[in-house]
Amino acid sequence: MKKDLLKLLDLSKEDITRILNTADQLKYEKKHGVTQDYLKGKTLAMIFEKNSTRTRVSFETGMFQLGGHALFLSGKESQIGRGEPVADTARVLSRYCDGIMIRTFGQDEVEELARYAGIPVINGLTDFCHPCQVLADLLTVREHKAVLEGLKLCYIGDGNNMANSLIVGGLKMGMEVSVACPEGYDPAPQVLDFAKSDSAHKFSLFRTPQEAAAGADVVFTDVWASMGQEEEKAVREKAFQGFCVDAGLMALTNPGCMVQHCLPAHRGEEITAEVFEAHAQEIFDEAENRLHAQKAVMYLLMQDK
């Protein structure tokens, strides 16, 4: 693996498999009471310019379980939020800490941070991608289905950071990927170019959820208006009418089809309460696996660094 985890486009299939296998091992050890002091004495600086529940708790808990310490830095309260150059923040934190996790808006900020940091940088989320979430998603699907290659992954909703990372992660792991987005809400051009870059990639982009969901083994969805898009809520609600994961849509999928949602979920919008509760075990397995997947990333990037 490279020094940092900035986006799944940077990883090979072998890199992703190594992360998933390490997450499996760390999860097994935790469940069986094995001491995990692999990052003893290490400190992770966590920069949050976007609010979070799962990202903060899972990274902070994960560092504690690995024997290290996590330091929370609010964007509004730190110098980076007051205009200090990202390059300067990177170089200062590299003198104090052993790794940086950042959850922010622009992908360019994460890339610049990594360029100047002498320690590993982990992308906790940007508007472009959500690599840690999708690593947890892949881990969950593999736990339930035993394999990834050959499965059909379907995503219904906005072509946002989740869609971008699911397309890349799914295709890199040999899955068929089918996406349904309304006109004007497509995934990033860079991601669509990647999907078309290899004849082995099985990728489809549809305008109706029914076409995308046919024969799916796992269905993903996400909120229609992400953080920072609150002012677009009314417009998006109109654009996404019909893009709800409901019982009728699930009837088109393969028997035993999973449902995954990165949370928080808006029941009655992108997913019905009925479907959510029917698949709640899988969805909260997915939420738990944020912890294990991120522990694997921190272990692989920060140990002996």
181 among known catalytic residues: no
Beta strands in the chain (DSSP E): 43-48, 69-74, 99-103, 121-125, 152-156, 176-180, 203-206, 218-221, 258-261
Query: Does 52 reside within a domain?
Result: yes
Q: What is the pLDDT of residue 125?
A: 98
Q: Which own/partner pairs from 195-198 qualify as long-range (CB within 8 Å, at least 24 positions apart)?
A: 195/167, 195/171, 198/171
Other Cβ atoms within 10 Å of 9 Cβ, number: 16
Query: Does 223 reside within a domain?
Result: yes
Q: Which is the catalytic residue, given 261, 262, 279, 285?
A: 262
At 276, phi and psi to the nearest 5?
A: -60, -50
Task: Verify that 86 and 160 share a domain, yes or no.
Answer: no
290 among known catalytic residues: yes
Q: What is the pTM of this model?
A: 0.96
Task: Verify that 146 and 115 share a domain, yes or no.
Answer: no
133 among known catalytic residues: yes
Q: What is the pLDDT of residue 194?
A: 98
Query: Does 161 reside within a domain?
Result: yes
Query: Does 1 reside within a domain?
Result: no
How many distinct structural domains can be found in the chain?
Answer: 2
Task: Verify that 88 and 217 share a domain, yes or no.
Answer: no
Low-confidence ranges of the chain (pLDDT < 70): 81-82, 227-228, 305
Task: Verify that 139 and 163 share a domain, yes or no.
Answer: yes
pLDDT in tens, 273-287: 999 999 999 999 999
Q: What is the pLDDT of residue 81?
A: 67
**Under 8 Å between Cβ of 169 and 143:** no
Task: Verify that 139 and 246 share a domain, yes or no.
Answer: yes
267 among known catalytic residues: no
Closest to 260 (Cα-Cα) out of 107, 149, 171, 135: 135
Q: In which domain, by residue range, is 213 found? A: 132-287
Other Cβ atoms within 10 Å of 263 Cβ, number: 15
Q: Which is the catalytic residue, given 54, 279, 290, 292?
A: 290
Task: Verify that 276 and 147 share a domain, yes or no.
Answer: yes
